[in-house]
Amino acid sequence: MADSILVLYGSYRSDRVGIRLANFIVTGLRQRGNDAELVDAKAVGLPMLDRMYKEYPKGSAPPMMERLAGKIRSADAFVFVTGEYNWGVQPGLKNLTDHYLEEWFWRPAAIASYSGGRLSGAHAAVAWHGALSEMGMVVISSTLAVANISAALDIDSKPIGSGGDALARAFPRFADDLAWWTEAAKQQRARRAPPY
């Protein structure tokens, strides 16, 4: 049975280049037989966090929040695709994730970071590691880090140049690591109910 993987992306900029990486990952996961879906924070359009999903009386959350809660609960794993804003995380993606908590629990998460410069979004990846762990996910050790993203992926999300070659070489290990942890988490959840 195919693994259900949500690929979450959070830039709200009008000229978004990181969407290329998100689409590359969705395509790559699908080619491996997974049921991968892009969750674009800008398209979902949640408001700035006022009330978490769990703070709404059952059945009264806004429809887009309710739909996304169902997708998160039914997913086997997550990939967070993040740019770096001033050594930190993208506010759009952080806002989306913070609307939920228990919905994320007991599944693996992978981090893919990017930047227009040479640091590949590394500071954001480090910040996300702690945040995702706090939200109840097991963060896998493999990461994707793409520098000079517009020179690594074309507008159709196809690898180009030396950066694209490096990304294409790194992706299989990243996906294998995520698949291993996804299988382990699925088996453990089937064997034993989570402790809380």
Per-residue confidence (pLDDT) for residue 145, from 0 to 100: 97
Q: How far apart are CA 173 and CA 144, in angstroms?
A: 10
Quick check: is 64 in a domain? yes
> At which residue do the structure tokens 């939200």 appear?
135
Quick check: is 124 in a domain? yes
The CA–CA distances, whole Å, from 143 to 39, 65, 85, 146, 175 equal: 19, 28, 18, 10, 9
Per-residue confidence (pLDDT) for residue 1, from 0 to 100: 76
Residue 196 pLDDT grade (very low, low, confident, very high; cuts 50, 70, 90): confident
With b meaning 16 or more CB within 10 Å and e meaning fewer, what string describes 30-57? Answer: eebebebebbbbbebebeeeeeebeeee
- 167 contact partners, CB below 8 Å, separation of at least 6: 24, 144, 146, 152, 153, 159
Domain of residue 139: give its range: 4-191
Q: Work out the angle at residue 47's Cα, subtended by the Cα atoms of residues 127 and 125, and round it to the nearest 5 degrees.
A: 15
Tell me, what CATH number does 57's domain have?
3.40.50.360
pTM of the model: 0.97
Quick check: is 88 in a domain? yes
By the 10 Å C-beta count (0-12 exposed, 13-18 middle, 19+ buried), 8 is classed as buried
- pLDDT tens, position by position, 117-144: 999 999 999 999 999 999 999 999 999 9
Looking at the structure of the chain, the number of domains it has is 1
Residue 147 pLDDT grade (very low, low, confident, very high; cuts 50, 70, 90): very high
Task: For residue 137, give the amino acid letter.
Answer: M
Quick check: is 165 in a domain? yes
Quick check: is 144 in a domain? yes
Strands laid side by side in the 35-40 sheet: 35-40, 4-9, 77-82, 108-114, 138-146
- pLDDT tens, position by position, 10-62: 999 999 999 999 999 999 999 999 999 999 999 999 999 999 999 999 999 99
> At which residue do the structure tokens 């809380």 appear?
196
3-state secondary structure of 90: coil
Quick check: is 196 in a domain? no
* Contact by Cβ (8 Å): 35, 4: yes
